[in-house]
């Protein structure tokens, strides 16, 4: 793993797992996974559907038992059988993917219910305010919109003022405005010294929120670093995507000036380039030479998505 200690030196890991394996009847959901989340950092787990993110996070939360491997959460293992699990749960904030609350309870009743399970924590009214659900305070959970439910679920995760927060796809289904508000809430939690492990499909979210990310697929980690360092592994900052109307020989294209990689995706092509203003004229000249016409061309800044495609040949959201 590259450059393991460039941030908050001296702080022990808030969360660590080693050699984690979880097998379901038909799939190996987690395959010898190692992770380490430092105290005070926001760590992102990225991967396509079925990569094993939820399975991993639920093992770390102590809700699933792994078939093999060790887990250490805030300095202790799960299931020691001495009542330490309960004490540990006092310090965790958990949001589950797709968990529902009781439809016929109101927002405030739900938050009060969960607040009562913890020894300490903020006032339920303040928690509701913090996720901007004051207006829906008295509404039944069953009548909330998808995004409002997501916020309620975050409120419930914050109800004990946790040291470590697990968020499984916290912003899926939110409108852009709500997503931004949630990002700010997560940033505020972090700036108060909290540690976060989150999963997401959104690259922008990971790049903005996470100090480090792990890209995973088929149950193991393909790459782990800061978003910037991962993008840097592509060797260039820009991506040029284009389509042509004939048979293109990719080998000469790969040797064009400024091109660090060239890939074919069905009928489309993608080049990773350092300087588009150098490479694009060269590309057009090469297409001319091969006698194929250009149907479409677009460029964008390289993102984690490109890193993922480069690593796996698949897109992150493979719906």
Ligand X SMILES: Nc1ncnc2c1ncn2[C@@H]1O[C@H](COP(=O)(O)OP(=O)(O)OP(=O)(O)O)[C@@H](O)[C@H]1O
With CB under 5 A as the contact rule, the residue among 54, 56, 95, 110 that binds Mg ion is: 54
Residues 139-198 touching ligand X, rule: CB under 6 A, are none
How far apart, in Å, are the Cα atoms of 18 and each of 36, 52, 67, 189?
Answer: 9, 15, 12, 27
In the complex with ligand X, the residue whose CB is nearer, 114 or 202, is 202
Q: Provide the minimum distance between the beta carbon of 304 and other proteins in the complex, in angstroms, as a whole number.
A: 19
Stretch that binds other proteins, among 3-11, 155-163, 221-229, 308-316 (CB under 8 A): 155-163
DSSP letter, residue 140: B
Position closest to ligand X via CB: 54
- The answer to whether 98 contacts other proteins (rule: CB under 8 A) is yes
In the complex with ligand X, the residue whose CB is nearer, 23 or 89, is 23
- The answer to whether 55 contacts ligand X (rule: CB under 6 A) is yes
DSSP letter, residue 313: S
Annotate each residue in 54-93 with x if it binds other proteins (CB under 8 A) or - if it does not, as one string: -------xxx----------------------xx-xx-x-
Instruction: Give the one entry of ligand X, Mg ion, other proteins, none that residue 55 binds, where binding means its C-beta sits below a cut-off of 5 to 8 angstroms depending on kind.
Output: ligand X
- The answer to whether 119 contacts other proteins (rule: CB under 8 A) is yes
- The answer to whether 171 contacts Mg ion (rule: CB under 5 A) is no
**Residues engaged in binding ligand X (CB under 6 A):** 24, 27, 29, 47, 49-55, 97
């Amino acid at each position: 793993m590259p450059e393991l200690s460039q941030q908050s030196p001296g702080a022990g890991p808030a969360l660590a797992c080693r050699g984690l394996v979880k097998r379901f009847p038909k799939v190996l959901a987690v395959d010898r996974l190692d992770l380490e989340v430092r105290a005070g950092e926001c760590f992102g787990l990225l991967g396509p559907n079925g990569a094993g993110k939820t399975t991993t996070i639920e093992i770390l939360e102590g809700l699933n038992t792994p078939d093999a491997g060790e887990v250490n959460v805030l300095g202790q293992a799960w299931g020691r059988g001495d009542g330490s699990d309960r004490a540990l749960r006092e310090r965790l904030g958990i949001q589950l993917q797709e968990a529902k609350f009781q439809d016929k309870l109101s927002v405030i009743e739900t938050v009060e219910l969960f607040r009562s399970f913890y020894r300490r924590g903020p006032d339920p009214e303040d928690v509701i305010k913090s996720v901007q659900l004051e207006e829906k305070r008295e509404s039944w959970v069953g009548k909330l919109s998808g995004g409002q439910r997501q916020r309620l679920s975050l409120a419930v995760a914050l109800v004990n003022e946790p040291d470590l927060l697990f968020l499984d796809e916290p912003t899926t289904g939110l409108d852009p405005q709500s997503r931004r508000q949630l990002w700010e809430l997560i940033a505020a939690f972090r700036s108060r010294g909290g540690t976060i492990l989150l999963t997401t499909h959104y690259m922008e979210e990971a790049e903005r929120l996470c100090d480090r990310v792990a890209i995973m697929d088929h149950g193991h980690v393909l790459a782990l670093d800061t978003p910037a360092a991962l993008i840097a592994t592509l060797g260039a900052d820009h991506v040029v995507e284009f389509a042509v109307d004939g048979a293109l020989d990719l080998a000469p294209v790969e040797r064009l000036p400024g091109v660090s990689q060239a890939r074919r995706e069905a009928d489309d092509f993608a080049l990773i380039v350092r300087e588009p203003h150098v490479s694009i004229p060269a590309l057009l000249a090469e297409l001319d030479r091969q006698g194929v016409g250009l149907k479409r061309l677009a460029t964008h800044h390289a993102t984690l998505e490109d890193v993922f495609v480069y690593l796996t040949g698949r897109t992150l959201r493979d719906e």
